[in-house]
Structure 1
Amino acid sequence: MVIRNFLLVSLLLTGCASQAPFPETANRPQQVISMAAEAAPQSVVATVTMQVQAVGNQQGITYLNSESDYRDQRNISIAISPAARIKVEAIFGGELSKVATGKRILVNGSAKRVTIWFFDNNGKRSDKYYYQTQIFVSDPAQIHII
């Protein structure tokens, strides 16, 4: 009886363990962009699968982009915090700017539509902007190579 109860509890706890979602249940970038636009200005929890087309860095944050031009309205940017970058690089097997392009990834997290403003040559914000959908990665467990 004790063994049976132990096995039952073990099975239940195993089902509660955090696991990477299956790629076939993940959303495409366009779906996540639509979800984030509908939820704006709030974020929405999402899982996306995409191929990394470009990598960028700004103010310590590393961005993995689903399009070669990060300004493309079809782009999702995976924003990796400086604290998580080293562990994410260990997952990828090297510096992200050198090894991430071309990799197919699965990412889960909060997707948010972010307003990106343009600035003039004097650093003054103009009235021009575009929207970019970003998923912020602060924990390396949020990202998987598939």
Structure 2
Amino acid sequence: MKNVVLAFIFLLAGCTSTTSHTTSTFSDPMEIIKAAADSAPKGVPGQYTLQIVATGSQGQYVYLNTEKDYRDQRAVTVALHPKVISQLSAKYGMPPQEYFLNKAIVVNGKAQRVKIAFLSDGKPTGKYYYQTHVRVMDISQLKVVDEHA
């Protein structure tokens, strides 16, 4: 009987050790940045809880940032696709860069390391740095913490 119980315990332990999850959850931006860098260029799919402290836009895109300076190596940037921007504006009655400022959000997506080139007179200088972005292509990927649907 003792051998049967031990065999059952080992069987259960084997089942739990072979289970793999494809989605990771991080709340610490440094953990997200490290995971994205370690998996570059693929990125890390997950559900991320982030505090947005600054926003910006460039071209048709809006960016939600976890640091005041988006170039800060500790920053994670949520990049909103133009079609999502119009949907969010309609849903919240204001531009997303205003609505999400100083809010905690949950974003489902892939955290990826993105190479950003330094420009001089609109031309690449050969110098660059990396940012960590989570691209949002669909409104369902993003919600405010404690927001009711």
TM-score normalised per structure 1:
0.76
Quote the offset at 1:35 in angstroms. Answer: 0.8
2:141 maps to a residue whose letter is: Q
CA RMSD of the aligned region, Å?
1.5
Gaps of at least 5 residues in structure 2 are 1-24
Larger radius of gyration: 2
Structure 1 residues 1-146: aligned runs within 5 Å: 26-120=26-120, 122-146=121-145
Q: Contact 1:33 / 1:133 at 8 angstroms: preserved in 2?
A: yes
Bigger CA drift: 58-67 or 96-105? 96-105
Q: Contact 1:29 / 1:49 at 8 angstroms: preserved in 2?
A: no
Q: Distance in 1 between matches of 2:88 and 2:34?
A: 27
Q: Distance in 1 between matches of 2:26 and 2:36?
A: 15
Q: Distance in 2 between matches of 1:51 and 1:91?
A: 20
1:118 maps to a residue whose letter is: F
1:125 maps to a residue whose letter is: P
% of aligned pairs identical? 40
Count of aligned residue pairs for this structure pair: 121
Quote the offset at 1:47 in angstroms. Answer: 1.6
Q: Distance in 2 between matches of 1:89 and 1:57?
A: 14
Quote the offset at 1:124 in angstroms. Answer: 2.1
Gaps of at least 5 residues in structure 1 are 1-24
Quote the offset at 1:26 in angstroms. Answer: 4.3
Q: Contact 1:27 / 1:46 at 8 angstroms: preserved in 2?
A: no
Moved over 6 A (4+): none
Q: Distance in 2 between matches of 1:37 and 1:28?
A: 15
